[in-house]
Amino acid sequence: MAEKPSKTEYPAYYQDYMKLVPEGNIVALFKEQERMTTNLLQGLTDQQASFAYGTDKWTIKEVVGHLTDTERILAYRLLTIARGDVTPLPGFREDAYVQQADFTGMTVASLLAQYKAVRASTIALVESLNDQDWTRQGMANNYITSVRALAYILLGHERHHHNILHERYFASATYPVNRM
């Protein structure tokens, strides 16, 4: 399954995420993104990953935790809809999730291990889907959403946060550069 979803398959507020996802084999896109995220984060020290570019902004550790939590939630939605379950699925409050988690108390290595485990599970799920599964639709956060839209939203969401990490965190004049 490599075909991008139409604009009728997801809420309009996800359009910016969709624009970030290139054409290609969906499984290959998930695997490549996992390599990119791993490469981006594995060299960070805990001090660097504890950086936030503003007083009311998440730390890098919190961004990674948010990516992992969001993937868990969206993959559950994807699974539920792919299996034909018509139960309306709730939204979630990302800030509340980050606030309740102790991502800043975790190491970069443990956050990255969680991310990789969740991504491996998502890839296995995506690989298991057949053509009919991809086009199924269900209700998530009060919007009709398709299985393939959820997969692309996952990819676009992470690309969005990669951009923020590069533009606002790593490019910040106050980012703690490793001075060895």
CA dihedral (111, 117, 121, 126) positive or negative: positive
Does a structural domain hold residue 179? no
Report the pLDDT averaged over residues 57-86. 98
127 part of a folded domain: yes
In a domain, 178, yes or no: no
Mean pLDDT of 82-110: 96
Among the listed residues 65, 68, 89, the one whose alpha carbon sits nearest the alpha carbon of residue 137: 89
Q: Is the pLDDT of residue 2 over 70?
A: no
> What is the reported pLDDT for 10?
97
Is 95 strand, coil or helix?
helix
pLDDT value for 161: 98
| Encoded tokens for 114 | 């969680």
| Separation of alpha carbons 69 and 147, rounded Å | 18
Q: What are phi and psi of 29, to 5 degrees?
A: -65, -40
CATH number at residue 49: 1.20.120.450
Rounded CA-CA distance 40/16 in Å is 22
- Number of Cβ within 10 Å of residue 103's Cβ equals 25
Q: Domain of 45?
A: 8-170
Q: Is the pLDDT reported for residue 179 higher than 60?
A: no
Closest by CA position to 35, among listed 126, 157, 166, 158:
158
> Does residue 79 sit within a domain?
yes
* Percent of residues, the chain, with pLDDT higher than 70: 97
Percent of the chain with pLDDT over 90: 96
Split into its structural domains, the chain has a count of 1
CB 40 within 8 Å of CB 33: no
- Rounded-to-integer distance, Cα 123 and Cα 55, Å: 35
Determine the pLDDT at residue 180. 39
Structural domain includes residue 129:
yes
Residue 176 belongs to a domain: no
What is the rounded distance in angstroms from the CA atom of residue 141 to the CA atom of residue 61? Answer: 26
Average pLDDT value for the chain: 95
In a domain, 3, yes or no: no
Is the pLDDT assigned to residue 178 strictly greater than 70?
no
Answer yes or no: is 1 within a domain: no
**What is the mean pLDDT of the segment spanning 165-170?**
96
How sure is the predictor about 3, in pLDDT bands with cuts at 50, 70 and 90?
confident
| pTM attached to this predicted model | 0.95
